[in-house]
Structure 1
Amino acid sequence: MDAYAVKSLIDDIGATSSRTEKERLTMELGASDLGKFVLSWAYNPYIKFYLTPALTENAGRFKMEFKQNLIEPLLKKLASRELTGLAAEREVGEVMGALDEDGARLLFLILSKDLKCGIGAQTINVAVPGLIPVFSVQRAVHYEPKKLKKGKVYKAEFKLDGNRNTFLCKDNNAGFFTRTGNRVAALDFLVEPVMQAASYVVSAASPELRRVMMRDGEDKLNFMLDGEAMMTVFEETGAFRRQEEDAVGAELHLYDMMSYDDFNAVGAVGQPLSVRRKWVEEFQDLAKIALKGTSSPETIQIVPQFFVNNDAEVQELFLRARDMTLASYLARGNKAKEEALLKTTINPKTGKPAVLEGIVVKDLEALYEKKKSSAWLKVKAEETLDLPIVGIYNGQEHSKYENILGGVIVDHDGVNVRVGGGFSDPDREELWQLWEMDAKILGIDPSVGFKGKSFAYDDLKEVGATNLMTRLLETEFMEVTPDGSLRHPRAIRFRDDKDGEVEIKEAA
């Protein structure tokens, strides 16, 4: 299959609205080496190109055929950041100019990380199983006393309410990723000190930890660190705006670790938590030595653990967490630092110093499960859930919100829940503009009335209607009603660091 055939198939995929037909055509595309190459580079979530592609006026000028051995070296240089900035734009422009029209279009689509034909990783993996890596991390479920099993050993950790960030290193190439596998560019400045520490750790580590970080017989680092990025000095941005500021002054607070190969596997993976915790402790101890005297001596921290044997001890530790200010936790006994942090770590909801969110109770015998798992139980102060937005409604007729956002519709376990509280007037105007973009993609009038309109989550994802739709909204509520809805739901904030989480499920 040549570039013309690949582009024609992509056009055919985009032209059909049938999911089964998209899967059939994608299977046909993935059956060829060139088609598989295009799909993989366009949709692999671990690959970023760090530029905004554009079809230049010279694109397709010299009629060179699009071939893997011509294009792959360029993609590798962009992905590794060997080629950046103006030099990258110049070389991409030169290659596009050399290619024929179909080849230039294919290169543009790959660099856009979207073939713009209404498919995503889910469809591709149905058609070509395992072609696109699916990023997923272990997540906690809500704590209930009955979930503590007799005879099991548990430890609890403070829940910091920072940003969950997974540090992945593959063949010495490393970066921070969100829960959904998106690269966190704002934390790129932390990659160098973490890798500096890792290089020392692997040279001084126990044989067991060395095998976790480096495959036998190889000299390249391959490992994963799991934790929360916390700011030593920070300022909260608006609740409904995406954070784009560089995370200056961040620390990585670790609570898990494993080999890259284990993390990349499916299902319950790695060693029991008790073993993984020892690796984290050894890594942090050696990292302190490696970073001593550098500009980032406190970059790598560890989340403390406490034994809990029953519900009474869980509740006692939870109250201790809720009595501890974030400033106190981050200062680690340094009173001057704590005083400075008390002025900046203010909870925007209360206007008072922020406190730790709660605790997470963990089963020490459990493996790492890449999904929501009862091996991790979170204890939080109030009833909130992160729910995907699947619809919208206008305000009531003749009200001030009649022609803008009255509220959103979120999906709670298959039950549509209308959330109208928690949005300021500027929020409603801003979110309405995002909805208008999604409505255009969906081909509908954005004004849907007070009754509103909702959609299937997967359908929204497939067509790319994700400016407002599909985003996770932290929703506060009083209780779950008998019919599965939520009583008095209220919007708190978007959780874009979680949006799009996919669970990996093993075949039965």
Structure 2
Amino acid sequence: MIKQIFDEIANESSTNEKKNILSKYVENELLKRVLYLAKSKRVKFYIKQIPDYVYNEKTPIELDVVLDGLSLLSDRTVTGHNAITYLKNYLSGLSPDDAYVLERIIDKDLKIGMGTREINKIFPDLIEKTGYMGCKPFSKKLVMKLLDKGSCYSQEKMDGMFINSIIQGGEVQNDSRQGDPITLENPIFLTELAGLKDCVINGELVMEGVERYKSNGIITSLKNIAKKRAEGKDVTKHIEKLEKRHMPYQEALDLIRVVAWDILTIDEYYTRKCIRPYNERLAELNVTVDGFRTLSVVETREVSSLKEVMAHYEEIQSRDGEGTVVKSKDGVWKDTKPSYQIKIKKEINLDLRITGFNYGKAGTKNEHLISSVDVESEDGLLKTSPTGLSEDEMDYITSHQEELLGTILEIKCSGISHDRDNNFSVMHPVYKKPRTDKSVANTLAECVEIDVAASLL
């Protein structure tokens, strides 16, 4: 029955029709179990290849019984060669259709063209979402409120590639903020992460000795090369291009470092609930990554006054850093932007005109959705492409591109700067909201005036 449902969905090309088909089976509890086991990143089976097997009709077994038995693999009661034999016996006893379903579960690939986001729309909250703890924008009032309670932490606000490193049983899964896998080909930091206890590290990928703007591009190229090679594609030209522009491929991988600022248990990460105060988590993080070459804790200092907060911020700015974050010592981890975690970073809002739309990268869950827009000033002298759209915003923009083209969008950014060709550019642009009340965008001169007028204090 489950195999037939999968075939029905796989044979439909339309995402909406796939969801319509799946919704017909919303009461099917066995289907829900299969979907969860196959798509949940929390459940791992530690078997990298499906063993050869032959159907044995003399020892039949039902799929629901097998699903119960998979817990012995996921909790590592059965491991190594015993685990392979254990799985082989299950595969042999199932009907061919059910054996196919079990293969899909073990491979973590349903092959139906539906991601976690689409499945959760039919079965709400069935599969764990990726949590992210952000920061409130700068507010002198919020900072003073924290300081009135006692000393806080001030940490450098990193500007690398965000990463959640999930370590379970010596295996490492690196995910983006959105939950997409970050695949790299054997960098040193992966080996060091694999040596940690089971935990989840929140941090960013940077490159030692490489400026932050350049390192993000190099890491993205390394990630894309690894993904293409995993898909069986020839990456020779991509590696040659990287090496011609930057450095040898393996050298680039070996320069990657993880700079971390938080640590969670596996349960805390997947339930998105944590009651431990930040000072405890930070102390644990310092002990956990101590002594490793490629793992470190973000620059942190204790501050007791606004003067000390701003002194650290200005020091980071003088090093061409992005800014700082002030954190309460007793703050718990939350999947939100709590008032006890505040960005010290200049932010301005600009009204720019929408001139184009960009789909997400191929192979990601957003490849069929608009994930960024192109905007420019009224005189066309300032151009940028803000990101940071929510899932609902991506859905809406994808469906309304024609009517949104040419309208005014408010973006949030860290200020105006110049690119390598001395053209005006925008630092860290983020989508904020459509301005249906406006028909004229800011000119470049107006944007510069807004930037100059902005002040943290």
Q: Which runs of 5+ in 1 are unaligned?
A: 54-59, 199-220, 289-296, 325-354, 394-407, 412-416, 429-437, 455-472, 491-508
> Does the 8 A contact of 2:355 with 2:406 survive in 1?
no
Is 1:121 aligned to residue 127 of structure 2?
no
Distance, in Å, in 2 between the alignment partners of 1:229 and 1:16 is 33
Distance, in Å, in 2 between the alignment partners of 1:16 and 1:319 is 49
> Does the 8 A contact of 1:257 with 1:277 survive in 2?
yes
Alignment of 1:108-507 (within 5 A): 111=107, 113=109, 115-116=111-112, 120-125=115-120, 127-128=122-123, 130-150=125-145, 151-153=148-150, 154-186=152-184, 188-189=186-187, 190-196=189-195, 198=196, 221-234=197-210, 236=215, 243-244=222-223, 247-267=253-273, 269-284=274-289, 287-288=290-291, 297-324=292-319, 355-381=320-346, 383=348, 392=357, 419-420=375-376, 451=405, 474-475=428-429, 488=442
Alignment of 1:75-114 (within 5 A): 111=107, 113=109
How much does 1:69 deviate?
7.6
How much does 1:277 deviate?
1.7
How much does 1:175 deviate?
3.1
After TM superposition, the score normalised by the length of structure 1 is: 0.52
Secondary structure of the corresponding residue to residue 184 of structure 2: helix
Number of residue equivalences: 348
Amino acid at match of 1:475: P
How much does 1:181 deviate?
2.5
* Cα 1:136–1:321 shift into 2, 3 Å: same
* Cα 1:479–1:134 shift into 2, 3 Å: closer
Amino acid at match of 1:320: E
Distance, in Å, in 1 between the alignment partners of 2:203 and 2:342 is 16
Q: RMSD of aligned C-alpha atoms?
A: 5.7
Distance, in Å, in 2 between the alignment partners of 1:377 and 1:101 is 53
Secondary structure of the corresponding residue to residue 367 of structure 1: coil
Amino acid at match of 2:375: V
Distance, in Å, in 2 between the alignment partners of 1:485 and 1:373 is 34
> Does the 8 A contact of 1:362 with 1:376 survive in 2?
yes
> Does the 8 A contact of 2:207 with 2:255 survive in 1?
yes
Distance, in Å, in 1 between the alignment partners of 2:109 and 2:185 is 21
* Cα 1:229–1:11 shift into 2, 3 Å: closer
Distance, in Å, in 1 between the alignment partners of 2:17 and 2:428 is 33
How much does 1:363 deviate?
1.3
Amino acid at match of 1:173: E
Amino acid at match of 1:113: D
Q: Which runs of 5+ in 2 are unaligned?
A: 226-251, 359-368, 386-393, 409-426, 445-457
Secondary structure of the corresponding residue to residue 251 of structure 1: strand
Distance, in Å, in 1 between the alignment partners of 2:355 and 2:16 is 19
* Residues 49-75 of structure 1: per-residue CA shift (max 9 Å, x gap): 99xx9xxxxxx99999995788998xx
Give the aligned partner of residue 433 of structure 1.
Answer: none
Distance, in Å, in 2 between the alignment partners of 1:489 and 1:243 is 37
